[in-house]
Amino acid sequence: MKTKILLVDDEQDIVEFLQYNLEQEGFEVIAAYDGLEALSKLNQNPDLIVLDIMMPKLDGFEVCMQIRSTYGYENIPVIFLTAKSGEVNEIRGLELGASDYIQKPISPKKLIARVKSNLRKRELVSGDSRTPSKIKSGPLSIDKEKYLVSIDGLEKIFPRKEFELIYYLANNPGKVFSREILLRDVWGTDVYVVDRTVDVHIRKIREKLDKFADLIETVKGVGYRFKSVE
């Protein structure tokens, strides 16, 4: 069965160009030309979404928010592909739960590499039989198969990349990881993201952990570690 990519952009020539190249790589492409159409095509069960930001009807940020609040689509990889530049926009996109942020223009080969990388990272958590399906540490319980995090018995939704990051740390309690290592192992070597990306995701995770935020410790000048809890 082919991997499905939902490609969303209001510029038809961009959609047709990228669709051709993605299909040449063996992907099945579902095209949408505005935010509302994108949401209406979620029922075709895409495996990954490439999403423009500046679009009519609903912009990409709003679409991403609605995707993340839709049951069954909380953890689908979303890649922003946009001409909207600037660190503020990139941070906003990541905070909304996007797994990647790419500025136009980009060559089809680079886009395809980023698509493949994000699909591989999805398997990092959901498909690796060598890692435990469930982690229990103090008040925290993580279910890899269901993509669920329970904190003191209360279930909370974590966007895909936040989930992968807390799972990675919790699966290695007491071990300190630099930002570079976290970027490599959670985001992938062929995806360009900055060190600040890790900090943004850690901050969002700590907000969700609330009174248990100290489960993730900052080691100054080094990186982060998950506190070992009996």
- The CATH number of residue 108's host domain is 3.40.50.2300
Of the candidates 201, 63, 54, which has an alpha carbon nearest to the alpha carbon of residue 121?
Answer: 201
Judge contact between 111 and 46, C-beta under 8 A: no
DSSP conformational letter for 172: S
- Are 114 and 208 part of one and the same domain? no
Last residue of a domain, one of 91, 108, 126: 126
- Are 108 and 138 part of one and the same domain? no
pLDDT at 189: 53
- Are 214 and 120 part of one and the same domain? no
- Are 53 and 21 part of one and the same domain? yes
pLDDT at 196: 82
- Are 192 and 103 part of one and the same domain? no
Last residue of a domain, one of 71, 97, 126: 126
Distances 108 to 51, 93, 104, 158 between C-alpha atoms, Å: 15, 22, 11, 30
> What are residue 3's phi and psi, to 5 degrees?
-75, 130
Residues of the chain with pLDDT under 50: 127-130
- Are 86 and 173 part of one and the same domain? no
Here the CATH number for the domain that contains residue 186 is 1.10.10.10
Which structure tokens are listed for 161?
A: 């990349």
- Are 114 and 22 part of one and the same domain? yes
- Are 65 and 178 part of one and the same domain? no
Last residue of a domain, one of 99, 126, 153: 126
- Are 118 and 82 part of one and the same domain? yes
pLDDT at 105: 84
- Are 171 and 200 part of one and the same domain? yes
- Are 97 and 164 part of one and the same domain? no
Domain region containing 163 = 134-226
pLDDT at 128: 47
How many CB atoms sit inside 10 A of residue 191's CB? 22
Q: Could you give the number of structural domains in the chain? A: 2
- Are 210 and 168 part of one and the same domain? yes
